[in-house]
């Protein structure tokens, strides 16, 4: 029987704050134990963790394989991970599945979540939640200050194109030097109801239209344009991995310059490189 119901039955008059604390105690009862068991049994298997904690990043979306590929080298590091979107919508007790999944996967990591709804019931050791909108830069600024260095951002929030781009514009520059920014559910780029378009696939105000432009920026050193001034993204994105409905953007210093022997510099026609084993 739920502790709150039990207390009600014995006629205790609980104030709002007391009820909240009791609910939290009830929700947290077995979480510490669960976390330890999962960590021991399948701590590095994200798919198993997603199923265990009830996140749709595994069976539903099939994102866990991609996450493992990119996150495995960071697994034992002291990273700070911020996820936009905690889940469970307006029910304060629901959600938090992926926050718990990340906490177990990164045994030394700190996990932060933001949501437009109050999700404080999910706060526990190495998990902190904040309430506010991903489209509100003053809120994001307060969150970034509270966290300090942010090594990974995962956008699994509203998936409204405008919100995704606003969050990226604010959070990407605040990501640590070799951080990773992940945007989930990029299919909304094609959905007019979410501010996307299936007609004009290059519209810069959709997530995928914007992302496609960033891919060119990685090669800015090769532009044959006089006096091109590289922007922040040109200079700070070193790799991008695009999968079905999810994008990983790797931050780093993109300052190696051109690695091409240019036709006009060497006054000779450009020759394609020969493949291995050919004369």
Residues that bind ligand SAM (CB under 6 A): 55, 57, 83-89, 95, 97-98, 114-117, 133-135, 156-158, 163
The residue among 57 and 103 lying less far from ligand SAM, judged by its C-beta, is 57
The residue among 134 and 189 lying less far from ligand SAM, judged by its C-beta, is 134
Kindly list the distances between the CA atom of residue 91 and the CA atoms of 47, 86, 121, 157, in Å, as whole numbers in the listed order. 25, 11, 10, 15
The residue among 163 and 251 lying less far from ligand SAM, judged by its C-beta, is 163
Residue 220 CB contacts under 8 Å (≥ 6 apart), including other chains: 228, 230, 234, 254
CA-to-CA distance for 60 and 44, rounded, in angstroms? 19
Q: Which residues are catalytic?
A: 159
Q: How far is the CB of 265 from ligand SAM (least distance, A)?
A: 49
- Give the number of other Cβ atoms within 10 Å of residue 201's Cβ: 13
Q: How far is the CB of 129 from ligand SAM (least distance, A)?
A: 11
The residue among 151 and 185 lying less far from ligand SAM, judged by its C-beta, is 185
Q: How far is the CB of 230 from ligand SAM (least distance, A)?
A: 31
Give the tokens for residue 5.
């119901």
Q: Is the dihedral of CA 87, 93, 97, 100 positive or negative?
A: positive
CA end-to-end span of the chain: 78
Q: How far is the CB of 159 from ligand SAM (least distance, A)?
A: 8
CB-side exposure of 126: number of CA atoms within 13 Å?
19
């Amino acid at each position: 029987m739920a502790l709150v119901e039990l207390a009600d039955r014995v006629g205790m008059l609980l104030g709002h704050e007391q009820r909240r604390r009791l609910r939290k105690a009830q929700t947290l009862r077995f979480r510490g134990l669960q976390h330890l068991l999962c960590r021991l049994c399948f701590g590095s298997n994200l798919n198993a963790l997603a199923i265990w904690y009830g996140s749709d990043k595994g069976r539903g979306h099939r994102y866990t394989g991609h996450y493992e590929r990119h996150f495995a080298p960071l697994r034992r590091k002291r990273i700070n991970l911020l996820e936009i979107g905690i889940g469970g919508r307006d029910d304060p007790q629901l959600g938090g599945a992926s926050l718990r999944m990340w906490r177990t996967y990164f045994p030394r990591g700190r996990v932060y979540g933001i949501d437009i709804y109050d999700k404080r019931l999910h706060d526990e050791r190495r998990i902190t939640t904040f309430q506010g909108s991903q489209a509100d830069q003053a809120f994001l600024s307060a969150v970034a200050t509270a966290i300090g260095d942010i090594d990974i951002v995962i956008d699994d929030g509203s998936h409204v194109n405008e919100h995704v781009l606003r969050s990226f514009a604010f959070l990407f520059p605040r990501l640590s030097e070799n951080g990773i920014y992940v945007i989930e559910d990029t299919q909304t780029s094609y959905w007019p109801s979410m501010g996307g378009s299936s007609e004009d696939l290059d519209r810069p105000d959709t997530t995928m239209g914007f992302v496609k432009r960033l891919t060119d920026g990685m090669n800015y050193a090769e532009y044959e344009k006089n006096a091109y001034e590289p922007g922040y993204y040109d200079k700070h994105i070193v790799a991008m991995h695009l999968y079905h409905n999810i994008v990983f953007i790797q931050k780093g210093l993109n300052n190696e310059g051109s690695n091409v022997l240019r036709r006009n510099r060497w006054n000779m026609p450009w020759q394609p490189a020969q493949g291995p084993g050919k004369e």
